[in-house]
Amino acid sequence: MSDASGQSGHERPDASLWTHRPGRRRRRGEAGRSGSLLSVHSLAGQVFLLQLAVVMLLVAAALVALVVQARRDVMTDARHRTLTAAQTFANAPGIVAALNSAHPTAVLQPHAAAARKAAGVDAVIVYGLNGITLAHSDPHQIGKRIIGPYAAAASGRPFTSTFKGSLGLSVISAVPVRAPDGSVVAIVSVPVRVETVRHRVNQQLPVLFGGAATALVVAGGGSGLVSRRLRRQTHGLGPTEMTRMYEHHDAVLHAVREGVLIVGGDGRLLLANDEARRLLGLPADAERRHITDLGLTEDLAGLLSSDRPATDEVYLATERLLAVSKRLTAPHGPGGSVVTLRDTTDLRALAGRAEVARERLKLLYDAGLRIGTTLDVKHTAEELAEVAVPRFADIVTVELLDPVLRGEESSGATAGITELRRSAVAGLDADHPLHPVRELIRFTPAHPISTAMAEGRPVLVRDLSDSDGWRAQQPERARRILDHGIHSMLVVPLRARGVLLGVVSFWRAKGSPSFEDEDVSFAKELAARAAMGIDNARRYTREHAMAVTLQHSLLPRALPDQSALDVAYRYLPAQAGVGGDWFDVIPLSGTRVALVVGDVVGHGLHAAATMGRLRTAVHNFASLDMPVEELLGQMDELVAQIDAEEVAAAEDGQGMITGATCQYAVYDPTSGRLTVATAGHPGLAVVRPDGAVDFPVLPISPLLGLGAGLPVETAELVVAEGSRLVLYTDGLIEDRTRDLDAGLEALRNALTGPGRTPEATCAAVMEAMLSDRPRDDIALLVARTRRLGPEQVAEWNVPRDPAAVAPVRTACTRRLTEWGLEQVGFTAELILSELITNAIRYGAEPIAVRLLRTVPTTSPATGTLIFEVSDGSSTSPRLRRAKVTDEGGRGLFLVARFAERWGTRYTPTGKVIWAERSLHNGATPEAEGLGEILLDQWDDTAL
């Protein structure tokens, strides 16, 4: 309890706080305060004398023990001092060299004198194995023969001995000096008189006595202060008076039928009578403990430990309702409070109902926070089951319609629904008899769940043993459920927006009361909140499935057949929503292949639809054989146009800005050159044939739609055959658990290693990089490069002379024969003749012809024959039907007729006209129909 100065003491509380003393006793106290501190008639005087006597005894005992111990350690100190000094000098650096010098005494003597003074010994002696003294603290002893027990030291063993000489009891230690080879070359001896060591110890005795005297003075002063404080708190009363006063106070305090507590200013319980202990259930050691450590309810403990007064406030404690009144003792006494407690348990029933209502409201609040945290139907059902156990029911099961689990709309009709799938269970032990999760349950029409669904209302079954409809569903399972202790059931349909989603069943087992009518309204409210979360999750599931379906329909169904690259890919939509990532592999003319990856900003149907538009645009632009920088420039203009249309179509002028990233790379297997352009997209990775991984530094242009017509920069790389090109979207390397640099390093580690196929590379990367719930789409494209060998390429330079057509045609026929393609020689001659003639007539120098033969990786039996004629002109021919009067204009028609594909691509120096002819298992040209084809170009009537 706090005294008048505000400090806390451990004494019984001052009686002046709650009992008035007679005036005679108060005058006696005042007289006691003016009396001597050493008076044995007061409690303070007795305590002071007792403390002083105890302190004096302790100080005297400690002093005697220190003196005895000091004298006992004199001999030990003397032995240690001599042995340590001898060993230190014998092992000192340079002593062996000094012994081997011409004048060892001159070298050793100063060091011996200094060592004697530093160690506090009588002498430091160095003598040889012949006993002749080489160094001595007394210079007169140098050169004399030492007679003594140094044989042990000469043999290599140090020793210490005690002897009594003319100067009194002494201790001497001898230590050998060893040469580097371990042999003993000299002996160091150090003697000291015991009296010398004792003299040094005796010099410490005044300090010990001074410390003891100081401790005695300090302890006496402290005892005086304690006694003075005690005298002030007891008002000078003697032991007999205080005993009589506290007996009187205890009799009154514990006889009343109200609980009384006295709480100190620091929140500790100072006193509690028997009634207070009974009402609050206080432990035996409650006094001097803090109020918050007594196991009281939080609100009651808060009142008792606060500075707020109270009058008849009701609190619940140990199943009792208590009326609590509190008064502060300040300023009339020390800081603290006096609390009285009255039992008002008659109001318990009312308080119980209020507490149940409060718990129900809190449960509804918690349900609003915990149900619907994810847009997943099954998880939302599990949240409903978990939030109600055990605060409302012992077991909760949730059954949903199968269309709801799939995200589909369920029919509004409730009649005839007999099948539900158990989607969530909470509160069950391992050997429960209920249906497991994911099981499809068919209910009979009389079952309470069927009744709840058909009538759209809650069904309460107080006692399951009396429910014939429930027992008739599965009699054996019903018996096991009853044997398990489950005895009451409450079924509530889950409805949202007028549509039935399923039911939630609340069960109570042994130890819990049966459900009552008052529980129905709460269960309905809880089910209504959960039904909204389940329906939101169902609608999201449907939209997500639609978006995923749309996105997959817009992505490549299969990789095209080509001979330049071995390609594998992975695509993984985000768990939270569909994004706009896409990839593509586009065969180009001249055996070249374009690799594309892109990412539309945002998620959802809009992103997926925009992705489809951009992928189609890339295909269209690639079919025109645009350079990579020009293609991305066209894409930038397209995205900007899409954004402008979105803003114009929005009523508020705040349309959705698309924004997209794209990386477009073209690989040429004839040269191994890779041309790359990037618009805001992560750079590609190149895995060399030896397994090392590079991330080439590429120029990166702004996102598509933000380029503002600026030119796109490109980079050209030459990659070795067997290299792996890895293109990816940012969802692969960026994650909430790691930054971009860490993601790139993880990707490097996953890609490192030689000899992997593209498929194995994709699997390794996804295993190493994929998180549990990716928040963004992931597109990964891995392509292993192939090269066309010299035996697959034939090239000729052609002068601009019509006579040069025949030699080139002959050379072409010869090369086809070498390739074993004689059967296509006629068609090849026709196509080349037309293309070369066209270049000579309308083009410009230089003119060159290139013949390529490709073998696809999927089917080596097939292949493609490619004809390319390049010239220095940028004019492009076009296909048209010649008029009757035209002498020419039918050459390209023949090329288009006998070639499967043909076209024009522009180069920095001109153009290339190309045509492809598929070999198709050695298909022969249609030479026999050539005449009819040519004749069809003229009108018979005109002839």
Q: DSSP string of 653-677?
A: S-PPP--EEEEEEEEETTTTEEEEE
pLDDT tens profile 825-862:
888 888 888 888 888 888 888 999 998 888 765 555 56
Q: Which tops the pLDDT comparison, 86 or 578?
A: 86
HSE-up (13 A, CA, CB side) for residue 22:
5
Residue at 737: amino acid letter: T
Q: Which tops the pLDDT comparison, 638 or 47?
A: 638
The confidence score (pLDDT) of residue 44 equals 61
HSE-up (13 A, CA, CB side) for residue 703:
13
* SS3 call for 369: helix
pLDDT over threshold 80, residue 930? no
The confidence score (pLDDT) of residue 880 equals 61
Q: Which helix (H) or strand (E) holds 913?
A: strand 910-918
Q: Which tops the pLDDT comparison, 651 or 141?
A: 141
pLDDT over threshold 60, residue 21? no
Share of the chain above pLDDT 90, in %: 21
pLDDT over threshold 60, residue 561? yes
Report residue 168: phi and psi, to 5°: 110, -170
DSSP one-letter code for 791: G
pTM: 0.54
CA 380 from centroid of its chain's CA atoms? 24
Across 364-373, b (16+ Cβ under 10 Å) vs e yields eeebeeebbe
The confidence score (pLDDT) of residue 631 equals 93
**Mean pLDDT, residues 236-264 taken together:** 74
| Lowest mean per-residue pLDDT among 33-42, 281-290, 827-836 | 33-42
The confidence score (pLDDT) of residue 883 equals 54
Task: Give 487: exposed, middle or buried? Use CB within 10 Å, 0-12, 13-18, 19+.
Answer: buried
Closest C-alpha among 538, 568, 706 to residue 637: 706
pLDDT tens profile 592-642:
999 999 998 877 777 888 888 898 999 999 988 889 999 999 999 998 888
**Mean pLDDT, residues 68-74 taken together:** 66
The confidence score (pLDDT) of residue 802 equals 84
Handedness of CA 719, 720, 721, 723 (dihedral sign): negative
Residue 939 — pLDDT band, cuts 50, 70, 90? very low
Contact indicator for 98, 217 with CB cutoff of 8 Å: no
- Range ranked top by mean pLDDT from 190-204, 497-511, 566-580: 497-511
pLDDT over threshold 50, residue 2? no
* SS3 call for 476: helix
pLDDT tens profile 772-822:
667 788 899 999 999 988 888 988 888 888 888 888 888 888 888 888 888
| Cβ contacts of 203 within 8 Å, gap of 6 or more | none
The confidence score (pLDDT) of residue 586 equals 93
The dihedral formed by the CA atoms of 622, 627, 630 and 632, expressed in degrees to the nearest 10: 60
Q: Which tops the pLDDT comparison, 346 or 649?
A: 649
| Cβ contacts of 644 within 8 Å, gap of 6 or more | none
- For β-strands 486-496 and 459-461, DSSP reports them as antiparallel
Report how far residue 730's alpha carbon sits from residue 732's, in angstroms, rounded to the nearest whole number.
Answer: 5
The confidence score (pLDDT) of residue 34 equals 40
- For β-strands 700-701 and 660-668, DSSP reports them as unpaired
Report how far residue 287's alpha carbon sits from residue 290's, in angstroms, rounded to the nearest whole number.
Answer: 8
pLDDT tens profile 187-234:
888 888 877 766 655 656 676 677 767 777 777 777 667 666 666 666
Contact indicator for 337, 329 with CB cutoff of 8 Å: yes
The residue behind tokens 């963004």 is 776
Q: Which tops the pLDDT comparison, 25 or 714?
A: 714
* SS3 call for 403: helix
Tokens of residue 353, six digits: 């109902």
pLDDT over threshold 50, residue 241? yes
As beta bridge partners, residue 910 has 907
pLDDT over threshold 90, residue 493? yes
The residue behind tokens 């149900």 is 371
**Mean pLDDT, residues 687-703 taken together:** 92
* SS3 call for 880: coil
Q: Which tops the pLDDT comparison, 709 or 921?
A: 709
Closest C-alpha among 30, 169, 33, 157 to residue 83: 157
DSSP one-letter code for 735: B
pLDDT over threshold 90, residue 541? no
The residue behind tokens 């992931």 is 778
Residue 94 — pLDDT band, cuts 50, 70, 90? confident
Residue 412 — pLDDT band, cuts 50, 70, 90? low
Report residue 207: phi and psi, to 5°: -65, -40
DSSP one-letter code for 132: B
**Mean pLDDT, residues 412-434 taken together:** 80
pLDDT over threshold 90, residue 398? yes
Tokens of residue 770, six digits: 């994929």
Q: What is the mean pLDDT of the chain?
A: 80
Contact indicator for 453, 493 with CB cutoff of 8 Å: yes
Contact indicator for 571, 778 with CB cutoff of 8 Å: yes
CA–CA distance from 269 to each of 265, 276, 287, 293 (Å)? Answer: 10, 12, 5, 10
pLDDT over threshold 90, residue 459? yes
Share of the chain above pLDDT 70, in %: 79
Q: Which tops the pLDDT comparison, 48 or 932?
A: 48
pLDDT tens profile 725-752:
999 998 888 877 777 888 899 999 999 9
pLDDT tens profile 865-888:
888 899 988 877 766 665 544 445
Residue 350 — pLDDT band, cuts 50, 70, 90? low
Task: Give 525: exposed, middle or buried? Use CB within 10 Å, 0-12, 13-18, 19+.
Answer: middle
Count of residues in the chain:
943
CA–CA distance from 288 to each of 259, 269, 284, 294, 335 (Å)? Answer: 17, 5, 11, 11, 15
Tokens of residue 255, six digits: 């006889």
Tokens of residue 29, six digits: 């106290």
| Lowest mean per-residue pLDDT among 227-236, 592-601, 648-657, 751-760 | 648-657
The confidence score (pLDDT) of residue 572 equals 85
Tokens of residue 192, six digits: 């000291």
Does 475 sit behind a cis peptide bond, omega within 30 degrees of 0 on the bond before it? no
Helices (H) and strands (E) in the chain, counts: 25, 32
Sheet holding 125-128, edge to edge: 133-135, 125-128, 184-193, 168-178, 159-165
For residue 102, the tally of other CB atoms under 10 A from its CB is: 6
pLDDT over threshold 80, residue 378? yes
pLDDT over threshold 70, residue 576? no
Contact indicator for 217, 18 with CB cutoff of 8 Å: no
**Mean pLDDT, residues 145-149 taken together:** 71
**Mean pLDDT, residues 337-352 taken together:** 75
Across 20-37, b (16+ Cβ under 10 Å) vs e yields eeeeeeeebbeebeeeee
